[in-house]
């Protein structure tokens, strides 16, 4: 039997797909008996239960008056080294090349070569920072100094080679969700509480309302959809575009049909009362919310960009449309919402795909194999 591993995990612990995936991975590895050490700036928000083999090490960033900027990266590197030495960690699994792979590299310099580094790329570090010439050298360095690098979709692997040109193999390991949490629940009571009539369809969008998510396209598409089908739109999340979006909803006269729910936990209940999910981003390396919705039986309409086509199987679990093609998006949604048989088929396919291609068992095993291969090298 293989010995259990001691693994340090670093991610941005606040709300966001990368934090969610990193935390879920830590929880599921702990359930397999590994010793997990989260080294993060705050308690990961999905770490909502006590596990005897998970420890949280807080990275404290002090505000010294001599420094204009608080040194998060250095505080993290030093914490990683301290924890790795004391706990005799086998490896650090960091999420995001910048700054986390660089911090892990520094920690390794302090601890010694036995400490291995696995870096997972999630998108924003490559698709946004990768265009900045002043940072791309550093991203390449972070990638090349890692022992193993993974990315959450083939599309992100391709984009990383195009933009950063690292001399390093990058392996795709898809994201996953906890299917014990994300599955179809009876949410009829909730539908009633929100004042949604039984004969009304529910369109849902979940994001952090950044510009890249093009939430305005969700609203414009819904404006066309609700002319053909009785429907309500649930907008879940919050972020920089919120004021613009709420003004837009008012200007289009949709106030009575659009519900702003803000940031929410227990998303599985909201997916369970929804009939279609829209994710119309201009850049998206994976789209974790698509997978969450699919696992709850919600067919998805997404843009044909980044990793979205690897998650939505065109015509099987949903539809793909070009970025900004509001008419096609609305037509596809109307088609889906007005044909019960089609909806039923796609809903079943969505549940099957979430369980088959992206099952947590499969993905966590993939990460586990990467770790074992690395430490026995
Ligand atoms: O989408 C965001 O703005 C958040 C960002 C993050 O760091 O959590 O999401 C990225 O990582 C997720 C988990 O791998 C992916 O599902 C998202 O597609 C990816 N976001 C982008 O590529 C824009």
Tens digits of per-residue pLDDT, 156-198? 999 999 999 999 999 999 999 998 999 999 998 999 999 999 9
Which among 14, 9, 11 is positioned nearest to 30, based on CA atoms?
A: 9
Query: 188-356 falls under which CATH superfamily?
Result: Glycogen Phosphorylase B; (3.40.50.2000)
Q: Is the CB of 309 under 6 A from ligand 1?
A: no
Task: State the closest ligand 1 atom to the C-alpha of 306, by its place in the atom list counted from 1.
Answer: 22
The closest residue, in CA terms, to atom 12 on ligand 1 is 17
Which of the four pLDDT bands, split at 50, 70 and 90, describes residue 130? low
Ligand 1 within 6 A of 283 CB? yes
Using pLDDT thresholds of 50, 70 and 90, give the confidence band for residue 128.
low
Does residue 152's CB lie within 6 angstroms of at least one atom of ligand 1?
Answer: yes
| Three-state DSSP class for residue 40 | strand
The SS3 call for residue 117 is strand
Residue with CA closest to ligand 1 atom 3: 208
Q: Alpha carbon of 103 to those of 26, 33, 374: distances in Å?
A: 19, 27, 19
Tell me: domain 6-176+359-375, CATH 3.40.50.720, correct? no
The tens digit of pLDDT for each residue in 187-214 reads 989 999 999 999 999 999 999 999 999 9
Beta carbon of 123 within 6 Å of any ligand 1 atom: yes
Is 150 close to ligand 1, i.e. is its CB under 6 Å away? Answer: no
Closest C-alpha among 311, 371, 370, 367 to residue 25: 367
CA gap 158, 160 in Å, rounded: 5
Q: Read off the pLDDT band of 305 (50, 70, 90).
A: very high
| Separation between Cα atoms, residue 363 and residue 359, nearest integer Å | 6
CB of 156 within 8 A of CB of 306? yes
Residue (of 194, 124, 136) closest to 162 by Cα position? 136
Ligand 1: nearest atom to the Cα of 212: 23
Is the model's pLDDT at 15 over the cut of 70?
A: no
What does the mean pLDDT of the chain come to?
Answer: 94
Q: Is the pLDDT of residue 44 over 90?
A: no
Give residue 47's pLDDT: 83
Ligand 1 centre distance from Cα of residue 126 (Å): 11
Residues forming CATH 3.40.50.2000 domain(s) in the chain: 6-176+359-375, 188-356
- Cα–ligand 1 centroid distance for 150 (angstroms): 14
Question: What mean pLDDT do residues 102-127 have?
Answer: 93
pLDDT, position 49: 83
**Per-residue pLDDT at 312 exceeds 70:** yes
CB atoms under 10 Å from CB of 68, counted, come to: 5
Model's pTM, two decimal places? 0.95
Q: Which of 229, 224, 219 shows the shortest CA–CA distance to 336?
A: 229
Per DSSP, 294 falls in state: H
Q: Is the pLDDT of residue 85 over 70?
A: yes
Tell me which of 43 and 175 has the higher pLDDT.
175
| CB neighbour list of residue 137: distance below 8 Å, 6 or more residues apart | none
Classify residue 190 as exposed, middle or buried by CB count within 10 Å of its CB (0-12, 13-18, 19+). middle
Q: Which two tokens stand for residue 83?
A: 């924890």
ipTM at complex level? 0.98
Among 16, 20, 294, say which to mutate for ligand 1: greatest number of ligand atoms within 8 Å of CB.
16
* Overall average pLDDT of the 17-29 stretch: 95
């Amino acid at each position: 039997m293989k010995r259990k591993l001691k693994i340090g995990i670093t991610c941005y612990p606040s709300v966001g797909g990368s934090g969610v995936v990193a935390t879920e991975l830590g929880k599921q590895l702990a359930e397999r008996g590994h010793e997990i050490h989260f080294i993060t700036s705050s308690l990961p928000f999905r770490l909502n239960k006590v596990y005897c083999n998970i420890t949280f090490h807080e990275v404290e960033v002090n505000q010294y008056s001599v420094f204009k900027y608080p040194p998060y990266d250095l505080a993290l590197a030093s914490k990683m080294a301290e924890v790795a030495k004391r706990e005799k960690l086998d490896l650090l699994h960091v999420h995001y090349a910048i700054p986390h792979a660089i911090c892990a590299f520094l920690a390794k310099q302090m601890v010694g070569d036995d400490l291995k580094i696995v870096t997972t790329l999630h998108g924003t570090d490559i698709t946004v920072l990768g265009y900045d010439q002043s940072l791309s050298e550093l991203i390449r360095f972070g990638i090349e100094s890692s022992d193993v690098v993974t990315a959450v979709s083939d599309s992100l692997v391709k984009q990383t080679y195009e933009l950063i040109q690292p001399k390093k193999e990058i392996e795709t390991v898809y994201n996953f969700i906890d299917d014990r949490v994300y599955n179809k629940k009876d949410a009829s009571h909730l539908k009633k509480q929100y004042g949604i009539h039984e004969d009304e369809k529910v369109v849902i969008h979940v994001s952090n309302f950044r510009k890249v998510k093009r939430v305005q396209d969700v609203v414009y598409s819904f404006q066309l959809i609700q002319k053909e089908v009785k429907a309500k739109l649930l907008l879940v999340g919050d972020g920089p575009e919120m004021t613009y979006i709420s003004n837009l909803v008012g200007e289009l006269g949709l106030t009575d049909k659009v519900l702003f729910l803000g940031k929410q936990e227990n998303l599985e209940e909201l997916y369970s009362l929804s009939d279609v999910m829209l994710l119309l981003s201009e850049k998206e390396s994976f789209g974790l919310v698509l997978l969450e919705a699919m696992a709850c039986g919600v067919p998805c309409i997404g843009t044909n960009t980044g990793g979205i086509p690897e998650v939505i199987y065109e015509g099987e679990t949903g539809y793909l449309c070009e970025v900004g093609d509001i008419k096609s998006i609305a037509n596809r949604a109307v088609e889906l919402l007005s044909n019960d048989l089609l909806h039923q088929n796609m809903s079943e396919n969505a549940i099957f795909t979430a369980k088959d291609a992206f099952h947590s068992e499969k993905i966590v095993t993939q990460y586990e194999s990467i770790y074992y291969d690395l430490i026995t090298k």
